[in-house]
């Protein structure tokens, strides 16, 4: 269902921006000095929108337009504060008017057309939320367990598959909440988690989010944009993948204690998928978790397989941003950095069935490597244990909650390419694909 409250707020912001635009051409508005404050009110509303509804990508153009209008409106506000009547607005040309109307209509249309098709808050019905602490490693997790109403008793849930969903680090459990609920509706128990100081954002058990550190944001952005081409960012991706692998092992131990005999499947997004694939190549790990039946890796590039020549020695900087920045800048000019990916190292050999879900188009990096070369190599040496699955005109974002919660984000990624799945169908279609793998591996 479309979030009408958000739409009404966006229209209200547009109204406060529209009145000052038409004021020069409507004489009855000239004496009403309060109109000068409307852009500032719109700015407060726009800022409050992000505070109340969280990250809304479709509202960013509107927010930027509001900021620009407020900068232009500073002389009017100054005159009003000084108790002077500023007549400059009367002299504004028709060109100024049409430019304002154009950008106002454009930014408002983007915000309204791409309203979320479902609520953006996390599900609460039949969901148990637990705070879990790894005292040994100093980590704090928020774990969400999705059960159908009839699954409340231990007897009824004793044989149901338990699906551990490792969410993408960027988006965390908010990016897979609807997927988990849909997987649960198909007769499974779904478990997802968020880790403080790693996920962006990390969710609190009582609701709300932890504010991420700037280094977390920087590292994730570097991984998303550069880890497929440059070795330094690839090393960061490897470290994050290893962190996620350790998280999965800890959460699996917790799940085994709750659902000892239930068959289990891991669905990992991005780094989580790569971490799960790496983990199940270890016979010791699979021996410790005999109820683990398989892994689904969604858009996982297996960064641990990407390599290059060794990085040049870096001077210790104690993570001081200015020193690190200028040191890296120096290395760029001297040709020591960045080092590009130049080889593909040994691929993992999973001991359990693995389904790799990839985008319909295999892009290649500037270095000539295919994004799924490591995946294809893993499948080729797996002896039939692994497979690749893709749907034409279905992107990585379509396997998450994004099409329902953030339609504009899906539009940016997919462009005008017509997707095989409608926004509202993405969650259920993804859960159906997962369910076929679950059925095949747990029956």
Q: Which of 88, 113, 138 is the last residue of a domain?
A: 113
* 110-to-16, 56, 289, 346, 408 alpha-carbon distances in Å: 17, 11, 48, 46, 8
Per residue in 94-103, pLDDT tens?
A: 788 899 999 9
Q: Which of 113, 144, 160 is the last residue of a domain?
A: 113
Enclosing H/E stretch for 286:
helix 283-288
Confidence of residue 58 (pLDDT cuts 50, 70, 90): very high
Per residue in 158-197, pLDDT tens?
A: 789 999 999 998 889 999 999 999 999 999 999 999 999 8
Tell me the HSE value of 181 on the side-chain side, using a 13 A CA sphere.
Answer: 16
Per residue in 251-304, pLDDT tens?
A: 999 999 999 889 999 999 999 999 999 999 999 999 999 999 999 999 998 988
Instruction: Give yes or no: residues 109 and 145 share one domain.
Output: no
Instruction: Give yes or no: residues 163 and 101 share one domain.
Output: no
Token pair 């699996």 in the structure block, residue: 252
Whether 401 maps to a domain, the answer reads: yes
Angle between helix 4-22 and 60-72 (nearest 10): 30
How many structural domains does the chain have? 2
**What's the pLDDT at 330?**
62
- CA dihedral 260→264→270→271, nearest 10 degrees, is 40
* 95-to-62, 69, 102, 399 alpha-carbon distances in Å: 20, 15, 10, 45
Per residue in 78-96, pLDDT tens?
A: 777 766 556 655 566 778 8
Residue 297's CB: how many other CB atoms inside 10 A? 29
Angle at 323 between CA 321 and CA 329, to 5 degrees: 100
Tell me the HSE value of 249 on the side-chain side, using a 13 A CA sphere.
Answer: 18
Instruction: Give yes or no: residues 74 and 152 share one domain.
Output: no
**What's the pLDDT at 288?**
92
- Tokens representing 299 are 């858009």
Nearest to 403 by CA among 117, 80, 89, 34: 117
Domain that holds residue 285: 127-442
Instruction: Give yes or no: residues 218 and 103 share one domain.
Output: no
Whether 431 maps to a domain, the answer reads: yes
Per residue in 382-430, pLDDT tens?
A: 888 899 998 888 888 899 998 988 888 888 877 656 677 887 789 999 9
Q: Which range, 54-58, 81-85, 189-193, 344-348, has the best average confidence (pLDDT)?
A: 189-193
Instruction: Give yes or no: residues 21 and 140 share one domain.
Output: no
- Tokens representing 318 are 């104690």
Residues 6+ apart with CB under 8 A from 75: 86, 88
Rounded to whole angstroms, the Cα distance separating 215 from 144 reads 26
Instruction: Give yes or no: residues 257 and 288 share one domain.
Output: yes
| CB contact at 8 A, 296 and 437 | yes
**What's the pLDDT at 151?**
47
* DSSP type of residue 392: T
The full 3-state SS of 207-250, as one line of letters, equals: CCEECCCHHHHHHHHHHHHHCCCEHHHHHHHHHHHHHHHHHHHH
Confidence of residue 74 (pLDDT cuts 50, 70, 90): confident
Per residue in 418-431, pLDDT tens?
A: 677 887 789 999 99
| CB contact at 8 A, 389 and 358 | yes
| CB contact at 8 A, 130 and 143 | yes
Mean pLDDT of all residues in the chain?
Answer: 83
Whether 93 maps to a domain, the answer reads: yes
pLDDT at 337 over 70: no
* 55-to-59, 262, 331 alpha-carbon distances in Å: 9, 37, 36
Model confidence, pTM: 0.82
CATH label of the domain that carries residue 278: 3.40.50.1820
* 160-to-250, 269, 294, 439 alpha-carbon distances in Å: 21, 22, 15, 11
The full 3-state SS of 86-125, as one line of letters, equals: CCHHHHCCHHHHHHHHHHHHHHHHHHHHCCCCCCCCCCCC
Per residue in 3-51, pLDDT tens?
A: 678 889 999 999 999 998 888 777 777 677 778 889 999 999 999 998 8
Tell me the HSE value of 387 on the side-chain side, using a 13 A CA sphere.
Answer: 7
Instruction: Give yes or no: residues 230 and 85 share one domain.
Output: no
Instruction: Give yes or no: residues 106 and 212 share one domain.
Output: no
Whether 386 maps to a domain, the answer reads: yes
More confident residue, 66 or 33: 66
**What's the pLDDT at 165?**
97
Instruction: Give yes or no: residues 365 and 298 share one domain.
Output: yes
Per residue in 200-214, pLDDT tens?
A: 888 998 878 887 776
Average of per-residue pLDDT across 354-378? 75
Instruction: Give yes or no: residues 250 and 327 share one domain.
Output: yes
The full 3-state SS of 417-437, as one line of letters, equals: CCCCCCHHHHHHHHHHHHHHH
Q: Residue 162 forms beta bridges with which residues?
A: 189, 264
- 61 SS3 class: helix
| CB contact at 8 A, 63 and 104 | no
* DSSP type of residue 340: B
Instruction: Give yes or no: residues 75 and 149 share one domain.
Output: no
Whether 336 maps to a domain, the answer reads: yes
Instruction: Give yes or no: residues 104 and 133 share one domain.
Output: no
Per residue in 214-239, pLDDT tens?
A: 677 777 777 777 777 777 788 888 88
């Amino acid at each position: 269902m479309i979030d009408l409250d958000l739409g009404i707020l966006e229209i209200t912001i547009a109204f406060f921006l529209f009145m000052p635009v038409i004021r020069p051409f409507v004489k009855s508005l000239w004496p009403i000095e309060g109109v000068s404050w409307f852009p500032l009110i719109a700015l407060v509303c726009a800022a409050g929108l992000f505070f109340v509804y969280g990250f809304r990508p479709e509202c960013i153009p509107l927010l930027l337009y509001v900021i620009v209008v407020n900068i232009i409106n500073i002389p009017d506000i100054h005159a009003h504060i000084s108790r002077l009547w500023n007549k400059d607005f009367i002299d504004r040309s028709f060109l100024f008017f049409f430019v304002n109307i154009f950008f106002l209509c454009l930014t408002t249309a983007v915000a309204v057309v791409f309203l979320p098709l479902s609520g953006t808050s996390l599900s609460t019905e039949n969901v148990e939320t637990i705070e879990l602490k790894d005292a040994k490693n100093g980590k704090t997790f928020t774990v969400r367990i999705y059960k159908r109403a009839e699954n409340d008793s231990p007897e009824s849930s004793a044989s149901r598959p338990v699906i551990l969903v490792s969410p993408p680090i960027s988006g965390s459990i908010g990016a897979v909440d609807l997927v988990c609920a849909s997987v649960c509706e198909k007769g499974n128990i779904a478990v997802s988690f968020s880790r403080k100081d790693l996920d962006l954002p990390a969710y609190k058990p009582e609701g709300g989010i932890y504010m991420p550190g700037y280094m977390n944001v920087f590292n994730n952005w570097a991984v998303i944009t550069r880890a497929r081409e440059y070795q330094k960012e690839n090393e960061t991706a490897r470290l994050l993948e290893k962190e996620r692998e350790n998280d999965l092992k800890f959460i699996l131990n917790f799940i085994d204690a709750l659902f000892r005999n239930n068959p289990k499947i891991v669905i990992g997004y991005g780094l989580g998928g790569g971490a799960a694939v790496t983990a199940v190549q270890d016979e010791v790990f699979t021996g410790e978790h005999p109820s683990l039946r398989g892994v689904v890796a969604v858009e996982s590039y297996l960064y641990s397989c990407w390599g290059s020549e060794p990085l040049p020695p870096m001077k210790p900087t104690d993570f001081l941003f200015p020193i690190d920045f200028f040191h890296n800048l120096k290395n760029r000019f001297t040709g020591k950095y960045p080092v590009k990916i130049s080889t593909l190292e040994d691929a993992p050999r999973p001991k359990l069935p693995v389904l790799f879900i990839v985008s319909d188009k295999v892009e290649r990096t500037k270095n000539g490597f295919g994004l799924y070369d490591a995946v294809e190599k893993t499948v080729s040496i797996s002896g039939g244990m692994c497979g690749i699955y893709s749907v034409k005109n279905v992107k990585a974002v379509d396997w998450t909650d994004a099409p329902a919660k953030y339609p504009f984000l899906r539009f940016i990624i997919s462009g005008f390419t017509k997707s095989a799945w409608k926004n509202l169908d993405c969650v259920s279609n993804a859960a159906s694909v997962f369910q076929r793998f679950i059925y095949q591996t747990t029956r």
